[in-house]
């Protein structure tokens, strides 16, 4: 059993990262001078760092989902973030961790899955790749998401209000918000807060919980103060995006998703849930997220 307080550390000349075995969670990402690019995990706001969302993203209505006429318990964002991952590989600049199905997971999710999480540093880029495998004999419903919390403000000068999200493409499409059932997605859409390709986030934007894009043109964005060192975040394999924080906290979560929470009032089978993917026996599917420090 991995030590829950241990951290795996990897480094390149430009970055260093530490990863916790519990949840294969990215715990910190720092530049060559030790300046942290992620949340300070102040317990007044949120103690998470970068949980992995599997086998589902978001909340199931009543924390229960239905599969083929049977109800199963499922916590918000799934159970992988609370499970110990085993070490598969470690070198100076790379670590791979693995979660396999066990009796506890099968009680809530009756599938023989494998989730490998690979972290690799290449100069100024951290490449994260999650690979989901169906090791069983039944078609497997699943979703996957990333949930990293980046520093707001970043440690390069400029006030929090000077920070910008700049999308790869203009994003005029309406967005989703959380509705009147806790954690579930409102049926209505809302006007995009993006001006062209640029979002100027404010703490007040998140008083109603996350901003959610389910009609997203971009697969990359930047985060930081224009003209200062910043982060480029690419997510080529995930079609949706959430942005979230507890208003006033020192982080902004940039969350690429393949899947999302139940819609308000949803009572259907999990196969009818928005974003659910099917993985056939013996198949795998990977989801990459790259974080690059641009000086």
Question: What integer pLDDT is reported at residue 228 of this predicted model?
Answer: 97
Rounded Cα–Cα distance for residues 105 and 112 (Å): 9
The conformation of residue 155, written as its DSSP 8-state character, comes to T
User: Residue 1 — very low, low, confident or very high, per pLDDT cuts 50/70/90?
Assistant: very low
pLDDT tens figures, 52-78: 999 999 999 999 999 999 999 999 999
Question: What integer pLDDT is reported at residue 6 of this predicted model?
Answer: 85
Question: What integer pLDDT is reported at residue 2 of this predicted model?
Answer: 46
Question: What integer pLDDT is reported at residue 181 of this predicted model?
Answer: 95
Question: Which tokens is 281 given?
Answer: 């026996």
pLDDT tens figures, 84-132: 999 999 999 999 999 999 999 999 999 999 999 999 999 999 999 999 9
User: Residue 3 — very low, low, confident or very high, per pLDDT cuts 50/70/90?
Assistant: low
- CATH numbers and ranges of domains, the chain: 8-155+242-294 (2.70.98.10)
Q: What is the mean pLDDT of residues 259-263?
A: 97
Q: What is the mean pLDDT of residues 31-56?
A: 96
User: Residue 5 — very low, low, confident or very high, per pLDDT cuts 50/70/90?
Assistant: low
Q: Are 98 and 85 in contact (CB under 8 A)?
A: yes
137, pLDDT greater than 90:
yes
Taking the alpha carbons at both ends of the chain, their separation in whole angstroms is 40
Question: What integer pLDDT is reported at residue 124 of this predicted model?
Answer: 98
């Amino acid at each position: 059993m991995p030590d829950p307080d241990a951290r795996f550390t990897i480094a390149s000349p430009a970055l260093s990262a530490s990863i916790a075995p519990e949840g294969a969670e990215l715990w910190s990402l720092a530049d060559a001078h030790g300046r942290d690019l992620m949340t300070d995990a102040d317990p007044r706001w949120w103690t998470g760092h970068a949980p992995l969302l599997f086998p589902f993203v978001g909340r199931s209505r009543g924390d229960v989902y239905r599969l083929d006429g049977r109800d199963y318990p499922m916590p918000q964002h799934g159970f992988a973030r609370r499970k110990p991952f085993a070490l598969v590989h470690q070198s100076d600049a790379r670590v791979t961790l693995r979660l396999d199905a066990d009796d506890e997971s099968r009680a809530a999710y009756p599938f023989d899955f494998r989730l490998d999480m690979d972290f690799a540093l290449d100069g100024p880029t951290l490449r994260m790749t999650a690979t989901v495998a169906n090791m069983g004999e039944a078609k497997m419903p699943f979703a996957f998401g990333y949930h990293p919390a980046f520093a707001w403000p970043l440690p390069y000068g400029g006030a929090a209000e000077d920070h910008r999200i700049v999308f790869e493409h203009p994003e005029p499409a309406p967005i989703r918000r959380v509705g009147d059932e806790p954690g579930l997605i409102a049926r209505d859409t809302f006007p995009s807060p993006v001006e062209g390709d640029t979002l100027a986030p404010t703490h007040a934007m998140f008083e109603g919980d996350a901003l959610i894009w389910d009609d997203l043109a971009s697969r990359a964005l930047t985060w930081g103060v224009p003209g200062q060192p910043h982060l480029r975040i690419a997510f080529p394999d995930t079609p949706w995006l959430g942005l979230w924080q507890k208003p006033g906290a020192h982080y902004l979560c940039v969350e690429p998703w393949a899947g999302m929470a139940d819609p308000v009032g949803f009572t259907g089978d999990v196969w009818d849930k928005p974003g659910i993917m099917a993985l056939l026996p013996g198949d795998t599917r990977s989801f990459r997220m790259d974080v690059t420090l641009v000086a």
